[in-house]
């Protein structure tokens, strides 16, 4: 499959460089080779990990660079915030640049709560890229030595391990050490620090959103994330985390008005965000308190302007918490939308009955129950035979053997 696509890509004229967006074909993805990314097996797009391994699997391997993941918040914003923190923490570990915007909490507070990467991952990154850390020598002294002869080898081995596994594991019970955190370059946007003045122009956009969009564009242009810009020798990914867009603190009235004045502010912002991301090496996670937005049609158009959309429905405070069916889980996860990018057929999940749980150290998504087996690959004949054999074995007479007449 890859060969014809590659040859076709080469045919493209060089003059179309302006229209090139961040959806990388397989060939270009290999040329750039940014740490923490990999090409998709399905359509060759450049993927980054969300930090939650099971969520990556659900999204078809990871988030495609240049796309937006919409997370509909659960009622108390505890799990959606966790997904946002996972996403940012993965960026810190992969040395991507971050952009955090919030109106409620200071972005610094969000950054301080990032989960700690699990130790073997730290051991991979610290000696290779941060030899000057003070805590590092003690760690290596404490570590048990199996054979001193292999002391010089682990670098190669760990590199192999990290390349075969995409994304890292995190311990949510601990926060990331400040040394690791501060090594990552982070841009902050805290709305109260940006004075908004009501604009006289009749614009569909809120002032807060256009300020955010403007500062995003500045960062993308200044730090060279734009695809159309001059090719720097080392490209990097910008991870954008936008917290609780559409809430009242952003100046939006979607959540408390039946007939909001700024009805199109958020959708217009998301359109602009998509336009920015499509032409740059960046990827965004946006959380929206969707349970506050009563208008489902509006929520539908918000979803359609994002590429991936998932919704979290926590059991906290609902009667489902005590339901024995859900006793192992903390909430349900709904896949609202999967991306159709550069390909006709999208990667559809096997089934949509998914639940999430927060284990002691790890957030994970699991299937709630198995779906009925109705795929094209299943052989019907063997199942019919099995059923026939079962009736013979159980020997419960004519009532079940009647089923056989239904087989055709």
Q: Does the footprint of another protein cover residue 406 (CB under 8 A)?
A: no
Using DSSP, state whether 282 is helix, strand or coil.
strand
The single residue among 93, 94, 176, 205 that binds another protein, judged by CB under 8 A, is 205
Q: Strands 68-72, 97-102: parallel, antiparallel or unpaired by DSSP? A: unpaired
Nearer to another protein, 183 or 368 (CB): 368
Q: Does the footprint of another protein cover residue 23 (CB under 8 A)?
A: yes
Write down the least CB distance from residue 40 to another protein, Å. 13
Across 225-281, where does the E strand assignment appear? 238-242
Q: Does the footprint of another protein cover residue 294 (CB under 8 A)?
A: no
Q: What are phi and psi of 242, to 5 degrees?
A: -115, 120
Nearer to another protein, 94 or 216 (CB): 216
The single residue among 14, 142, 319, 376 that binds another protein, judged by CB under 8 A, is 376
Nearer to another protein, 162 or 308 (CB): 308
Binding flags for another protein, 267-286, as an x/- string (CB under 8 A):
xx--xx-xxx-xx-------
Q: Does the footprint of another protein cover residue 381 (CB under 8 A)?
A: no
The single residue among 145, 222, 352, 389 that binds another protein, judged by CB under 8 A, is 352
Nearer to another protein, 146 or 374 (CB): 374
Across 162-245, where does the E strand assignment appear? 170-175, 186-190, 238-242
Q: What is the DSSP letter of 195?
A: -
Find out whether 37 and 46 touch, Cβ atoms under 8 Å: yes
Residues of span 31-60 touching another protein by CB under 8 A: 43
Q: What is the DSSP letter of 321?
A: G
Q: Strands 186-190, 238-242: parallel, antiparallel or unpaired by DSSP? A: unpaired
Q: Does the footprint of another protein cover residue 390 (CB under 8 A)?
A: no
364-370, long-range: CB within 8 Å, 24+ apart, which pairs? 364/52, 364/53, 364/54, 365/52, 365/54, 365/55, 365/58, 365/333, 366/54, 366/329, 368/329, 368/332
Residues of span 329-348 touching another protein by CB under 8 A: 340-346, 348
Tell me the site size for another protein, rule CB under 8 A: 53
Q: Does the footprint of another protein cover residue 133 (CB under 8 A)?
A: no
- Other C-beta atoms lying within 10 Å of the C-beta of residue 225: 24
Q: Does the footprint of another protein cover residue 62 (CB under 8 A)?
A: no
Q: What are phi and psi of 114, to 5 degrees?
A: -60, 140
- Burial (CB < 10 A; 0-12, 13-18, 19+), residue 246, is buried
Find out whether 69 and 27 touch, Cβ atoms under 8 Å: no
Cα-to-chain-centroid distance, residue 232 = 26
Q: Does the footprint of another protein cover residue 324 (CB under 8 A)?
A: no
Binding flags for another protein, 158-197, as an x/- string (CB under 8 A):
----------------------------------------
Write down the least CB distance from residue 380 to another protein, Å. 8
Give the interface with another protein as residue ranges (CB under 8 A).
5, 8, 11-13, 16, 19-21, 23, 25, 43, 201-205, 210, 213-214, 217, 263-264, 267-268, 271-272, 274-276, 278-279, 296-297, 299-301, 304-305, 340-346, 348, 350-352, 374-376
């Amino acid at each position: 499959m890859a060969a014809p696509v590659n040859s076709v890509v080469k045919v493209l004229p060089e003059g179309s460089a302006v229209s090139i967006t961040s959806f990388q074909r397989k060939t270009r993805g290999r040329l750039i080779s940014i740490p923490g990314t990999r090409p998709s097996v399905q359509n060759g797009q450049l993927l980054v990990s969300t930090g939650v391994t099971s969520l990556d699997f659900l999204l078809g391997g990871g988030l495609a660079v240049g796309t937006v993941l919409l997370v509909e918040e659960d009622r108390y914003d505890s799990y959606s915030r966790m997904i946002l923190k996972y996403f940012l923490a993965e960026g810190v570990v992969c040395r991507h640049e971050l952009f955090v915007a919030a109106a409620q909490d200071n972005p610094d507070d969000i950054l301080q709560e990032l989960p700690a990467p699990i130790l073997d991952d730290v051991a991979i990154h610290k000696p290779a890229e941060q030899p000057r850390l003070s805590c590092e020598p003690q760690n290596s002294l404490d570590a048990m030595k199996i054979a001193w002869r292999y002391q010089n080898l682990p670098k190669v081995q760990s590199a192999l391990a990290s390349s075969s596994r995409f994304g890292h594991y995190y311990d949510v019970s601990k926060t990331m050490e400040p040394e690791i955190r501060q090594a990552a370059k982070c841009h902050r946007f805290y709305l109260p620090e940006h004075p908004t003045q009501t604009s006289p122009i009749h614009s569909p956009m809120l002032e807060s959103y256009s300020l955010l969009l403007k500062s995003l564009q500045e960062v993308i242009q200044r730090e060279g994330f734009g695809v159309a810009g001059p090719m720097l020798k080392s490209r990097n990914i910008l991870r954008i985390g936008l917290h609780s867009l559409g809430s009242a603190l952003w100046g939006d009235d979607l959540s408390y008005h039946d007939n909001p004045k700024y009805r199109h502010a958020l959708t217009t912002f998301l359109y602009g965000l998509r336009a920015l991301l499509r032409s740059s090496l960046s990827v965004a996670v946006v959380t929206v308190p969707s349970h506050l937005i009563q208008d489902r049609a509006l929520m539908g158009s918000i979803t359609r302007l994002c590429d991936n959309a998932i919704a979290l429905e926590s059991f906290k405070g609902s009667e489902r918490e005590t339901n024995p069916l859900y006793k192992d889980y903390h909430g349900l996860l709904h896949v609202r939308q999967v991306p159709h990018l550069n390909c006709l057929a999208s990667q559809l999940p096997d089934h949509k009955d998914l639940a999430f749980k927060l284990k002691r150290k790890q957030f994970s998504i699991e299937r709630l129950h198995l779906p009925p087996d109705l795929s094209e690959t299943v052989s019907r004949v063997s199942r019919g035979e099995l059923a026939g054999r079962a009736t013979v074995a159980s020997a419960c007479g004519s009532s079940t053997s009647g089923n056989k007449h239904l087989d055709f």
